[in-house]
Amino acid sequence: MPSRGRHQSTSKECRVLIKKIEAMEGVVGVIIGRSYGGKSLGKGAATGAVRIQREVSGGVKAVMQSEKGLQEIYIRTQEGMAQEVAGRIAVIA
């Protein structure tokens, strides 16, 4: 499933990580959301770092550190797989 959203431009590191997330078992797809320029995940957050925000109906909401700021992403998961996928993302990111 291709990435979709209002704002699809993101850095190379983020695109690579999105492809890894899409390849995970239990992931249906990744939807790229809004981008917030000039924002940061915090000290020491490298480009491509992901922070899981919360589980929502049908998946997981997260933010990703891009070169220019924060990028919202929605990770659509198979039913009952959101918690497991969130744990695996925390390990690779």
pLDDT in tens, 14-50: 888 889 999 999 999 999 888 877 766 666 677 778 8
Mean of pLDDT values over 70-92: 89
Helix axis angle for 12-22 and 82-92, nearest 10°, is 140
With a cut of 80, say whether residue 78 has pLDDT above it. Answer: yes
CB 56 within 8 A of CB 33: no
Quick one: pLDDT band at residue 5, thresholds 50, 70, 90? very low
* Residue-wise pLDDT tens digits, 23-32: 999 999 999 8
Interior CA angle at 6 toward 69 and 2, to 5°? 100
CA–CA gap between residue 88 and residue 43 (Å, rounded): 22
CA distance 52 to 64: 9
